[in-house]
Structure 1
């Protein structure tokens, strides 16, 4: 049985290889055998593996899986054979999600609703988890607030917009291109205003303050931040950290995906004056720490329920056949895709 793995190169390049892997013949008390039907592709964060001392010669690729339970351990209580499940393999997993059969703990999976396709379940589970973590766990959103979602047309941004609108939150979203603008405008009334950051004539701060009567937004969810005035071309559409501090409301909350964010004393003073707060969005903490396992599984289940009822309407690429997985993963790792890609097994 083959799976897809990646091997970091000496000069920062990454090589994806398909190699043979074996399914353990004996499964643990709380483990299940899952026949994988679909697996979504996400970039591999090698620095995170290093920080957690999980370096491997070959890192498994594809962790968001959907499939059918084949066999359960003697102490498994959540599932039975033939159950349809979806979940996220932990960082320390030895098997690639692109293997035809994987072994994992029952605590990494939830039931897949019958009406949800394998493809959608695998493709949405991680972005849905990130949206819940950002808006519920970190920002504590409440009805009547205003949220700014940067890069709202991305896979994560779309679900964040739909989740916020579902809970009665006013949503402002940025568009990185005319195509993104057209797509976001079609999401109305989920999006109250689309801000054209690709257009130099439209200012992010002025637009947000105008929309909120000068009070600022209650929640900011970024997708990257410029720390300095001179940044690489790839970050030209990312807002400057000072802009986000300026448009944040009193008591507001900024959720950042920028793990290297640096705040100078004047920046911290602005947060102090506004009684505002800053949180770092790392959705991997759910699987690296078991302190809140029940809440984690509840979130995964709720993501599937909202996908089943149509609250979540993701934008996905067409399913990719297994023989194209390597090429697709290379594109995902280089961030050359705008939609989530899932492989059909």
Structure 2
């Protein structure tokens, strides 16, 4: 069966994406279900993370967030039956690409897709929703009345995080990396009518006149925010290529309030003694956002499925709306994946079958 896979280019370390034929088992095993894929969202392939887990292969499957219809179930499957509409995320060690007509998945990695949610919406929102829930609830433990700063609020993950936080009564601040991003975020703050604003403040980090720390302290009465979710940070004062709009780690610590929590996506974060002392004086803490850990322990499987179910229910109710690009046909998958891998796509790209 044809699917999309990534292969390392010789000498460059970059991935090239190509269509390859792979065989699929005829029938599912005990707890497996065979799913006909209707939509598959694209996310960058993290080769370094796969190396750390010893999961690197010559051909890396592409596309893990899928939505589709159950065609066949294994003899011990209890959650699903044929013709059920489902959505889920393929595991990191999956051998087949999600961009195949059919995939085999364990039933404990899938949840029912509500009728009101399209296949494209389900596939396009599931991973960013999982990241948002993990950052806000599992790591940050936010509660109504807290304040949170979402870095790069106009990204698909940022937009989903803003919506989840607002739903739970959190005061949300967000940064905009460009004028276009700011205009997108301003749509979440209606100037008239009774619709409640999702954002308390938009901080234009693209404008050199705007100081991130001052803006956050001003909005919180000098107390600092209860939680920060970054989109990467600068570890050194000198701006490296592509990091000029990222906040410095010292700025992130400076805008935290007492007992605050910093959720970071920076896997190589290095805290110097003055940084640690500043966190100590605030009684603040740091967590690393890695939503892949849900698959590392079976003891957390029930909580993982609860998050997915809650998220798709909110998609059905219209509480959450993923930031999606126009659906892409299958024959353009390789080109689209190359744009996603090189971070040229600002919206979530979904392949529709």
| TM-score bin, normalised by smaller chain | over 0.9
- TM-score (ref. length: structure 1): 0.99
Counterparts in 2 of 1:9-48, with a 5 A limit? 9=9, 10-48=11-49
Gaps of 5+ in 1: none
Q: How far does the alpha carbon of each residue in 1:232-285 deviate from its partner, in whole angstroms, 9 at most, with x for none?
A: 231111000000000000000000000001001111111111110000000011
Match of 2:69 in 1: 68
Following the alignment from structure 1 to structure 2, what is the Cα–Cα distance between the partners of residues 243 and 18? Answer: 45
Match of 1:318 in 2: 326
1:7 aligns with 2:15: no
Following the alignment from structure 2 to structure 1, what is the Cα–Cα distance between the partners of residues 28 and 318? Answer: 36
Match of 1:284 in 2: 292
Match of 2:151 in 1: 150
Which secondary structure state, in structure 2, belongs to the residue aligned with residue 291 of structure 1? helix
Of stretches 68-77 and 180-189 in structure 1, the one that deviates more from structure 2 is: 180-189
RMSD: 0.8
Deviation at 1:193, TM superposition (A): 0.4
Which secondary structure state, in structure 1, belongs to the residue aligned with residue 216 of structure 2? helix
Deviation at 1:288, TM superposition (A): 3.1
Counterparts in 2 of 1:141-180, with a 5 A limit? 141-180=142-181
Contact 1:60–1:94 at 8 Å: present in 2 too?
Answer: yes
Q: How far does the alpha carbon of each residue in 1:321-340 deviate from its partner, in whole angstroms, 9 at most, with x for none?
A: 00000000000000001000
Following the alignment from structure 1 to structure 2, what is the Cα–Cα distance between the partners of residues 28 and 314? Answer: 33
Match of 2:227 in 1: 219
Counterparts in 2 of 1:41-190, with a 5 A limit? 41-188=42-189, 189-190=197-198
Counterparts in 2 of 1:216-295, with a 5 A limit? 216-295=224-303
Following the alignment from structure 1 to structure 2, what is the Cα–Cα distance between the partners of residues 153 and 270? Answer: 29
Which secondary structure state, in structure 1, belongs to the residue aligned with residue 320 of structure 2? coil
Following the alignment from structure 1 to structure 2, what is the Cα–Cα distance between the partners of residues 204 and 65? Answer: 37
Contact 1:90–1:288 at 8 Å: present in 2 too?
Answer: no
Figure out how many residues of one structure are paired with residues of the other and give that number. 345
Match of 2:194 in 1: none
Q: How far does the alpha carbon of each residue in 1:76-129 deviate from its partner, in whole angstroms, 9 at most, with x for none?
A: 011000000000000000000000000010011000000000000000000000
Contact 2:27–2:34 at 8 Å: present in 1 too?
Answer: no
Contact 1:131–1:163 at 8 Å: present in 2 too?
Answer: yes
Following the alignment from structure 1 to structure 2, what is the Cα–Cα distance between the partners of residues 231 and 52? Answer: 31
Deviation at 1:74, TM superposition (A): 0.5
Contact 2:176–2:203 at 8 Å: present in 1 too?
Answer: yes
Contact 1:91–1:288 at 8 Å: present in 2 too?
Answer: no
